[in-house]
Amino acid sequence: MRWLFHRAEQATRRGGGLTPLVLVDPAVHQDCVAPRQFPLLIGSDVQQQVRLVVAGQEAVVRTARTLFPVVENAHDETTADLLAQRMQIHEKTAWMLRSLLED
């Protein structure tokens, strides 16, 4: 993440401008699901960046939800519990970020 903040700082010093970046979720194994890509626009307005982060949080929840049938078929209660906890955290984060956009 440091490189991202460094790029944002550089773009701000140069006067902004939209510099498209792509974030790839390294946690997604290519054999299970194709990696998801989320555009991040350096120099865009804060509300747009928050919307993109919300979209990313929601995508993580959708991806985790697709794994439930797999872990249920494997009778893997530990992984199911972990998925449920992760989903709750990402859903809560998305909810809190959406509240910032309601102004």
Q: List beta partners, residue 42.
A: 19
* CA 73 – CA 43 distance, rounded (Å): 45
* CA 11 – CA 22 distance, rounded (Å): 15
Q: Over the stretch 53-91, which tens digit does the pLDDT of each residue have?
A: 999 999 999 999 999 899 999 999 999 999 999 999 999
Q: Is the pLDDT of residue 97 over 90?
A: yes
Q: How confident is the model at residue 11 (pLDDT cuts 50, 70, 90)?
A: low
Q: List beta partners, residue 39.
A: 22
Could you give the angle at which helices 46-73 and 77-101 cross, rounded to 10 degrees?
A: 160
* Higher pLDDT among residues 28 and 15, named by residue: 15
Question: Domain-by-domain residue ranges, the chain?
Answer: 2-101
pLDDT at residue 33, as a whole number? 47
Output the average pLDDT for the chain.
75
* Higher pLDDT among residues 7 and 19, named by residue: 7
Q: Is the pLDDT of residue 92 over 50?
A: yes
CA distances from 63 to 11, 12, 66, 92, 101 (A): 32, 33, 5, 16, 24
pLDDT at residue 7, as a whole number? 59
Q: Is the pLDDT of residue 20 over 50?
A: no
